Chains A and B, each alone.
Chain A
Amino acid sequence: MVSLVINGQRISAAPGTTILEAAREAGIEIPHLCYHPAFPPVGTCRLCAVEIEGLPKLEPACSTNVKEGMVVRTESPRVVEARRNVLELLLAEHAMDCPICDKAGECRLQDTYQAYSLAPGVYAEDKTRRGKKIALGGGLLLDRERCVLCTRCVRFLESVTKTSELGVFERGDRSEIGCVEGRLVDNNYSGCLAEICPVGAITDSDFRFKTRAWFLEARETICPLCGRGCAVFLESHPGFPRVPGTAKAYRVRSRRDERVNGHWICNVGRYGYGYLEKSRCRELAGPLAKTLNLKAATDVVAPLAAELRALKYKGRQTRVAVVLSDWLTNEELFLAGAVFRRDLEIGRCHLVGPRDGSPDGMLLTAERSPNRAGAKALGFNTEETTLEALARDTDLLIVFGPFLQDRFRPADIASAWAGVKTKVLFTPRDEGLGAAFDLVVPTVWPAEKDGSFTNCQGLIRSFSPALAPPPSAVPEWRLLTALGRAVGLNPSFYIPFRSAGDVRRAMP
């Protein structure tokens, strides 16, 4: 380890660490625009220049490595003067349309100016008019009057997606970002560009003008849309602009996890959050109730438990079939195993998830479920099944999740299962499947609950709710705990489970 002093604070850092990273680890933030930890430093914005004792010039913290005994100052008058100077230059030709800029409130230029300068502009020359609202592809728009030419976008496309759709054209103050040979940005990670743009130069039409960044509440969660399970922030806000109401998701952003997704997420995960709202089983008395027999979980548990017990003792083979899904958490699958397989000795516990898609060779996997690896590890059968197999000798069918519909048409389900006496569906959404069931119980999506998933790399990661569920919906782990208790074959086992964490601790 190398020992050095930054702003009078003695810190130690691994050899080869840059001053910027070493300072950051010690809680000292050095402002910067072009530097991004995913790329080698380019040292061009000059905002991170710091004073190093014994050196005549200020040096860029992003690209200068720590040295034993180094004495660094990041807030000295010289440093702050240089920082202000760079800010002045960056703002001289800047659009200054912060009131209508999506990035306002989370803009590095704005934040740094607020922290270090707040000096009035003296630029008295005519500003150059540059292109605004230039379509880059992928729903991204470029505003060249806001661009600070950090080239993060260019470097991202060069080194991460290796598609190189963007480049810098012209030179000097005529430099501008543009599409190389007119080719639009077209890759499954294009959404990352708006995220890594430190200013509002690249905006995303998915988010554009929908809300102000400062209204958003960012909570950590895991993307459930494929087996990778990228770490993300789900950002929600109760409504526009400040109307209290149900929290609504506005944006998904990547969250750094070096073990899984590094800094990035794919467009499927970024833009796919619409499923949270779509066809949601929300209010028990809402429009869905006209066609479905929507019931709250609390009203369903006792009668369902009674029926399960009755069927268990009726013959040698239980006349119950259960369909689970790989969107359930490890805790839920564990509880489902306890209730259905261990206590009730139900042999037919199948797993039905969404259909596979094609992998993209980077993060996106073929499976479009977050917990197939977890389900396999818990011994669930992930092989395909048929509607007939599920209906044979069955009096009670319990289905978790909406995914049967990805494989069968609701009408076929209804006719294949016409002979099954009781059919119960636990699902967060309904798009016609519920009509084939006697009872539909609203549940929650992973983003709204506690639990853990095992991703395609075998990593087990837990998460807590990032969004409040609809009031009528109950997380499956809670429902299964209640059901296990009510079935009464092993009641004391379920007593301690007051949270998904309690269940996790009981798991092998």
Chain B
Amino acid sequence: MNREDELFLTRDFGLDHLHRLETYVSRGGYRAAAKALKTMTPDAVLEEVKAANLRGRGGAGFPAGIKWGFVPRGTDALRYLCVNADEGEPGTFKDRFLMSHNPHLLLEGAILASYAVGIRTAYVYIRGEYESIARRLETAVSEARASGWLGDHIAGTGFGLEVFVHRGAGAYICGEETALLESLEGKRGHPRLKPPFPASIGLFRCPTVINNVETLCHIPGIIRHGAEAFLKRGLPRDGGTRIFSVSGAVARPGCYELPTGSSLRELIYERAGGVRDGRKLKAVIPGGLSAPMLTENEIDVRMDGDSLVEAGSMLGSGAVIVIDDETPMTLVLEKITKFYAHESCGQCTPCRVGTAWMARIAARLRAGRRRNGDVDTLHRLASGIKGRTLCPMGDAAALPVLALVAKFRDELERSS
């Protein structure tokens, strides 16, 4: 087998019982952990991940190695790893795919991250609805403990790690990293004011690393095959593969793992089978609901962070939602605004009031009760939220509305 194929997270996903430790180990599982713990210093692991320039897969695309490097070193003060398995961004379903098929891959990634940063306790904050996956993860944790891949003295070394699975209670905002910390501490899931950043003051006021499930799943491959191999698969600055969750009006919705930088058009038309029922493509949301939508003539874009920013959107969580020509934009607008109004934590004024106001206008547009000036008001409200809120959720709520208003203004103004 081609060694580099091992860099594909989903390589073995066709196997039966991959979620069992024996199967995982038989496919080379925990070899990266053994290599790191026995032959590499924590710094060497950190340097390798830095060299791989692994960009976060949770939404913000921040390089994982740099984030780990922010945690103060040279002390043995308590610090934590939080695995963000909240997967709340509408359209995104890749983390559940990874965790249900291969929970040990995530655990191995967590071991490596913890070893590099000097962490001895990790929490997996998992979306509440993922009850069976949480159970599967818990089983994996017990298996790993029983065979010495978790607990004290992992692989006979001095390094130890405990992993706890914590289920959320169904709030999108708890996927935002600081709200996640609050929630994990047993408080309301309200995002914290930053700075301080979690790397200095995080969970229980200790330095904390927060990474997305998919981000951590890439670590074992990077350690086994090296940063260079990782960077070769994908783009030179944004390496590795990504799992794209494709949904909406496509013939074959699902998770597709492709090298970063693959073409969006190919993803939709070649992998996902094109637009369903012979309809035409009207718009695509390329990175989860928060990503500004692209129109049919904008989809010749590479699926990597920088290219999508250039195209006026973002890669976000890599969730691609395809909208066909029979879908009225008032419906899309209503869905988007209703979601954010429902999920705003309510702390800060622009997001709390602005999202609710936008949702009310959108509901009227959808119901055919448009008033003059509605579209301008939408634009004004979204502009008043963008860049002016405490956490990035404000932008998440404003950007898709701004894009929709800019690109489909005529259609909205024709609605009645």
Contact = CB atoms under 8 A, between A and B. Distances in A.
A384 interface: no
Contacts of A60: 193
Given A46-B350, A63-B193, A89 B345 contact: no
B341 interface: yes
B327 to A, nearest CB: 25
A186 to B, nearest CB: 23
Interface string B372-390: 0100010000001001111
B182 interface: no
A82 B389 CA distance: 11
Interface stretch (B74-82, B93-101, B351-359): B351-359
Interface in A344-370: none
A42 B352 CA distance: 15
B104 to A, nearest CB: 35
B171 interface: yes
B188 A92 contact: no
A90 B355 CA distance: 13
Nearest to B371: A124
Contacts of B347: 42, 44, 149
Nearest to B353: A89
Interface stretch (A166-174, A396-404, A414-422, A492-500): A166-174
A89 B350 CA distance: 7
A92 B353 contact: yes
Interface in B274-304: none
A381 to B, nearest CB: 53
B352 A172 contact: yes
Contacts of A46: 348-350, 388-390
A30 interface: no
A172 B355 contact: yes
A267 B274 CA distance: 70
Interface string A314-336: 00000000000000000000000
Contacts, number: 90
Interface in B163-198: 171, 173, 188, 193
Contacts of A86: 349-350, 384
Contacts of B360: 125-126
Given A82-B388, A85-B384, A172-B345, A125 B357 contact: yes
Given A171-B344, A175-B352, A92 B357 contact: yes
B156 interface: no
A507 interface: no
B236 interface: no
A88 B353 CA distance: 10
A218 interface: no
Interface string A42-69: 1111110100000011101001000000
Contacts of A92: 353, 357
A170 B341 CA distance: 12
A42 B349 CA distance: 12
A173 B390 contact: no
A323 to B, nearest CB: 56
B344 A173 contact: yes
Interface string A21-50: 000000000000000000001111111010
Contacts of A82: 384, 388
Nearest to A47: B349
A122 B371 CA distance: 12
Nearest to B359: A173
10 contacts: A45-B349, A63-B193, A86-B350, A124-B371, A168-B188, A171-B345, A172-B341, A173-B341, A173-B344, A174-B346
Interface of A: 41-47, 49, 56-58, 60, 63, 82, 85-86, 88-90, 92-93, 122-126, 148-149, 167-168, 170-175
Interface of B: 171, 173, 188, 193, 341-350, 352-357, 360-361, 364, 371, 373, 377, 384, 387-390
- When A and B form their complex, which 4 residue pairs have the shortest distance between CB atoms, in order from nearest? A175-B346, A173-B356, A89-B353, A85-B384
Given A88-B384, A125-B357, A173-B356, 5 more contacts: A43-B348, A93-B353, A122-B377, A149-B347, A171-B345
